[in-house]
């Protein structure tokens, strides 16, 4: 089983508190460490939860409301001051590149590591990145300004082996490794070992989706296809549905319905308005619609189902 | 006695920690609340120490290294989201205006309160602001990029009364008030009461100066004239004087010497490099030169002497 998890760094909407930092999550999948959003204070949240800032190699910024990216400048600065040399890829709205340039020019800061900015544009779901261990997609959300959600989907680098069959044919450990990697090969006696005969089908790939900030909209269910664990914003309770609509946000019930429609296994909700000092009611409301729902707290850690 | 104090919000140099936030101080003088510098996390430090963000009416930014201003965008955003309507004056390097515009344009954020940006330029000490209760000056420091220090000087709105004399002349409470405000006036019997005869000389004005970030330089002593409490950066211990010079910073000894040369009553040091987990040695080093020195911690509160 690949490692695939999410650490919640911040669960607050626009106004942070001492208990809830602004949006930020660290997703680890097949040893790639992806920071999704980076509100003010994210670098300290990473420190607080003992997560290495230097191992982050990909940053995804959903949109340019401050609570989702005001921590990016300080994080990059600290990475550089602490001696980072390895590169980083940042994906976000096109204007972010100009903002980074203006800010780092003004401070005459030169980051001592290479970073590549990739502008996210377009109105459709798109593949942002792929390597041997994962795929990252972006898809449009519906918010006051241009906003994207993200999907991180694991890829399998090895096939599960059919141990019974391997023992029957006395396949060596070395050869088992080749078969697991999907290689066919010939033995000394001239016989062929085909990986398809000695391996089991791949399990279904797990897929984590991040949807913050958005109001509900129909196409989202299609974008979420394949998602197994969904993080969905739940800024308000349903008694404030009108306010949610006005601000292009969702209620906890909306998040539950989206999880249901997308057929996921697990729902995480967050991005709570500062009016809610307790999040119990938000969780209850989501559970009414989708029982395996959890209202996340800063510092929470979840394995992706 | 006027109220005149400083709350330390952050005492860290460029790399913050969970114990030390980036630079920020709240100076209160005659009911004006002045935020000096605003590193990342300042809005949460204000909250942590129970200080009202909405009472801040003046913000001074010393320079555009991130640890001195990356918290400004979030602070202004939160002020607006929490319903601020009263205006605010921001003083800082000219490029800051463009940065604020670029960031708030990208997020399509409209601050719901008036704010006025005042660019600080020039190579000499200058008066930034004056009202009935205080004067604020800026003066150049010597750092890698253009940097200013600040002085906040109290002004007296009333003269101390000579009570013995007032009793002797049977001056009414109403008339005492006028005399304390510096008014001369005629009594019903035609005689004149002159405020100079019934009041005592003003006490010496207290003056707080903020010097971060800077290496030592000769003209600073002149700029600091009149200062009674000095905050001076002490990024390093003197065994790292070479590093301090290379980075245009000061040692704790430098801070002590500057306090001595400027003839202040109290020295506060801060802006410590993250290499120092304990600040005892920094305080000791400053005290060797200037005994009334304190190494500040986040959350500390000092009356201005």
Q: Count Cα atoms within 13 angstroms, Cβ side, for B228.
A: 15
Task: Judge if A110 and A232 occupy the same domain.
Answer: yes
- State which residues form the domain around B189: 163-198
Tens digit of pLDDT for each residue in A115-130? Answer: 999 999 999 999 999 9
Instruction: Please tell me the distance from the alpha carbon of residue A2 to that of residue A157, in angstroms, as a whole number.
Output: 9
**Active-site positions of B?**
67
For residue B189, the model assigns a pLDDT of 86
CA nearest to B37, candidates B104, B102, B115, B91: B91
Instruction: Please tell me the distance from the alpha carbon of residue B80 to that of residue A211, in angstroms, as a whole number.
Output: 25
Q: Is the pLDDT of residue B146 over 90?
A: yes
CA nearest to A81, candidates B46, B31, B12, B237: B12
CA nearest to B56, candidates B17, B100, B20, B88: B88
Which residue has tokens 């590591």? A113
Q: Is the pLDDT of residue B42 over 90?
A: yes
Neighbours of B247 (CB within 10 A): 18
Tens digit of pLDDT for each residue in A176-199? Answer: 998 998 899 888 888 888 999 999
The mean pLDDT of chain A is 95
CB contact under 8 A, B99 and A103: yes
Tens digit of pLDDT for each residue in B163-181? Answer: 999 999 888 898 899 899 8
Task: Give B288→chain A minimum CA distance, Å.
Answer: 31
Task: Judge if B193 and B57 occupy the same domain.
Answer: no
Percentage of chain B modeled with pLDDT above 90: 86
List, in sequence order, every beta strand (DSSP E) within chain B.
4-10, 24-29, 32-38, 56-60, 88-92, 115-119, 126-130, 134-140, 148-154, 185-186, 192-193, 207-211, 229-233, 266-270, 293-295, 301-303
Task: Judge if B19 and B168 occupy the same domain.
Answer: no
Range name among A92-106, A170-184, B234-248 with the lowest pLDDT average: A170-184
Task: Judge if A208 and A126 occupy the same domain.
Answer: yes
CB contact under 8 A, A107 and B145: yes
Q: What is the CA B165 to chain-centroid distance, rounded?
A: 38
Task: Judge if A146 and A95 occupy the same domain.
Answer: yes
State the best of A10, A40, A63 to mutate against chain B, taking most chain B CBs within 10 Å.
A40
List, in sequence order, every beta strand (DSSP E) within A64-217.
88-92, 115-119, 126-130, 134-140, 148-154, 185-186, 192-193, 207-211
State the best of B64, B65, B69, B74 to mutate against chain A, taking most chain A CBs within 10 Å.
B74
In chain B, the residue whose alpha carbon lies closest to the alpha carbon of A16 is B44
In chain A, the residue whose alpha carbon lies closest to the alpha carbon of B93 is A106
CB contact under 8 A, B66 and A44: no
Task: Judge if B209 and B189 occupy the same domain.
Answer: no
DSSP H helices, A151-240, are: 163-168, 173-180, 195-198, 219-223
Percentage of chain A modeled with pLDDT above 90: 86
CA nearest to B233, candidates B259, B207, B262: B259
Task: Judge if A183 and A93 occupy the same domain.
Answer: no
Contacts of B16 in chain A (CB under 8 A): 43-44, 74, 78
**For residues B70 and A74, is the Cβ–Cβ distance under 8 A?**
yes
Task: Judge if B194 and B259 occupy the same domain.
Answer: no
Q: What is the CA A137 to chain-centroid distance, rounded?
A: 10
Q: Which residues of A touch B (CB under 8 A)?
A: 14-18, 22, 40-41, 43-44, 47-48, 64-67, 70-71, 73-74, 77-78, 81-82, 93, 95-96, 98-99, 102-103, 106-109, 144-145
Contacts of A106 in chain B (CB under 8 A): 64, 93, 95-96, 98-99
For residue B1, the model assigns a pLDDT of 59
**For residues B127 and B187, is the Cβ–Cβ distance under 8 A?**
no
pLDDT grade for B213, boundaries at 50, 70 and 90: very high
Instruction: Please tell me the distance from the alpha carbon of residue B188 to that of residue B24, in angstroms, as a whole number.
Output: 55
Instruction: Please tell me the distance from the alpha carbon of residue B180 to that of residue B168, in angstroms, as a whole number.
Output: 17
Instruction: Please tell me the distance from the alpha carbon of residue B131 to that of residue A58, in angstroms, as a whole number.
Output: 50
CA nearest to A32, candidates A68, A59, A56: A56
Contacts of B77 in chain A (CB under 8 A): 14, 66-67
Contacts of A64 in chain B (CB under 8 A): 106-107
In chain B, the residue whose alpha carbon lies closest to the alpha carbon of A83 is B15
For residue A38, the model assigns a pLDDT of 98
Instruction: Please tell me the distance from the alpha carbon of residue A40 to that of residue B22, in angstroms, as a whole number.
Output: 12
Which residue has tokens 């049977």? B170
Tens digit of pLDDT for each residue in B55-98? Answer: 999 999 999 999 999 999 999 999 999 999 999 999 999 999 99
**For residues A211 and A132, is the Cβ–Cβ distance under 8 A?**
no
Task: Judge if B185 and B295 occupy the same domain.
Answer: no
Contacts of B82 in chain A (CB under 8 A): 15
Which residue has tokens 């304390």? B180
Task: Give B16→chain A minimum CA distance, Å.
Answer: 8
Neighbours of B164 (CB within 10 A): 8
Task: Judge if A127 and A182 occupy the same domain.
Answer: no
Shortest CB distance from A108 goes to which of B17, B102, B145? B145
Task: Give the mean model confidence (pLDDT) for residues A74-100.
Answer: 96
Task: Give B183→chain A minimum CA distance, Å.
Answer: 49
Contacts of B48 in chain A (CB under 8 A): 18
Q: Domain of B15: which CATH number?
A: 3.60.15.10
In chain A, the residue whose alpha carbon lies closest to the alpha carbon of B20 is A44
User: Can you tell me whether residue B208 is helix, strand or coil?
Assistant: strand
Q: Is the pLDDT of residue A1 over 80?
A: no
For residue B269, the model assigns a pLDDT of 98
Task: Give the mean model confidence (pLDDT) for residues A275-297.
Answer: 98
- Which range has highest mean pLDDT (A151-165, B98-112, B259-273)? B259-273
Shortest CB distance from A70 goes to which of B15, B65, B74? B74
Task: Judge if B135 and B239 occupy the same domain.
Answer: yes
Q: Which two tokens stand for residue A119?
A: 């502008």
In chain B, the residue whose alpha carbon lies closest to the alpha carbon of A96 is B106
Task: Give the mean model confidence (pLDDT) for residues A265-272.
Answer: 98
Task: Judge if B295 and B167 occupy the same domain.
Answer: no
For residue A127, the model assigns a pLDDT of 98
User: How many domains in chain A?
Assistant: 2
Q: Which helix (H) or strand (E) segment is A143 a member of?
A: none
CA nearest to B41, candidates A169, A286, A42, A218: A42
Task: Give B246→chain A minimum CA distance, Å.
Answer: 15
Q: Is the pLDDT of residue A2 over 80?
A: no
CB contact under 8 A, A77 and B14: yes
For residue A259, the model assigns a pLDDT of 98
CB contact under 8 A, A81 and B15: yes
Residue A26 phi, psi dihedral angles, 5° rounding: -115, 115
Task: Give B52→chain A minimum CA distance, Å.
Answer: 14
* Angle in degrees, CA B36, B41, B43, rounded to 5: 65
**For residues B42 and B75, is the Cβ–Cβ distance under 8 A?**
yes
Task: Give the mean model confidence (pLDDT) for residues A256-271.
Answer: 98
User: Can you tell me whether residue B65 is helix, strand or coil?
Assistant: coil
User: Can you tell me whether residue A126 is helix, strand or coil?
Assistant: strand
* Angle in degrees, CA B204, B26, B123, rounded to 5: 70
How many CB contacts within 8 angstroms connect chain A with chain B?
102
Instruction: Please tell me the distance from the alpha carbon of residue B291 to that of residue B278, in angstroms, as a whole number.
Output: 19
User: How many angstroms separate the Cα of B227 from the Cα of each of B47, B153, B208, B250?
Assistant: 29, 8, 6, 19
């Amino acid at each position: 089983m690949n490692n695939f998890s999410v650490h919640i760094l911040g669960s607050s909407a626009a106004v942070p508190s001492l208990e809830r930092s602004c949006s930020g999550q660290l997703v680890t999948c097949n040893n790639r460490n992806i920071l999704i959003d980076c509100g003010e204070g994210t670098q300290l949240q990473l420190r607080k939860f003992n997560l290495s800032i230097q191992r982050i190699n990909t940053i995804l910024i959903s949109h340019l409301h401050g609570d989702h990216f005001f921590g990016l400048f300080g994080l990059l600065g600290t990475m550089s001051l602490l001696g980072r040399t390895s590169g980083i890829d940042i994906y976000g709205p096109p204007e972010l590149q100009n903002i980074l340039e203006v800010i780092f020019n003004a401070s005459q800061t030169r980051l001592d590591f290479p970073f590549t900015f990739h502008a996210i544009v377009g109105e459709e779901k798109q593949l942002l990145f792929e390597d041997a261990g994962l795929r990252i997609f972006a898809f449009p959300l519906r918010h006051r300004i241009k906003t994207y959600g993200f999907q991180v989907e694991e890829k399998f680098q090895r096939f599960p082996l059919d141990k019974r069959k391997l023992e029957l044919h006395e396949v060596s450990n070395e050869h088992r490794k080749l078969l697991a990697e999907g290689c066919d090969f010939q033995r000394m006696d001239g016989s062929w070992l085909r990986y398809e005969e000695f391996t089991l089908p791949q399990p279904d790939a797990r897929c984590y989706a991040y949807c913050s900030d958005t109001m509900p909209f129909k196409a989202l269910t299609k974008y979420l296809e394949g998602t197994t664990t969904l993080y969905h914003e739940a800024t308000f309770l349903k008694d404030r549905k009108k306010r949610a609509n006005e601000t292009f946000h969702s209620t906890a019930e909306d998040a539950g319905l989206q999880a249901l429609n997308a057929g996921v296994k697990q729902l995480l909700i967050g991005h709570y308005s500062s009016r809610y000092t307790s999040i119990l009611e938000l969780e209850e409301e989501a559970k009414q619609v989708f029982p395996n729902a959890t209202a996340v707290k800063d510092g929470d850690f979840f394995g992706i189902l």
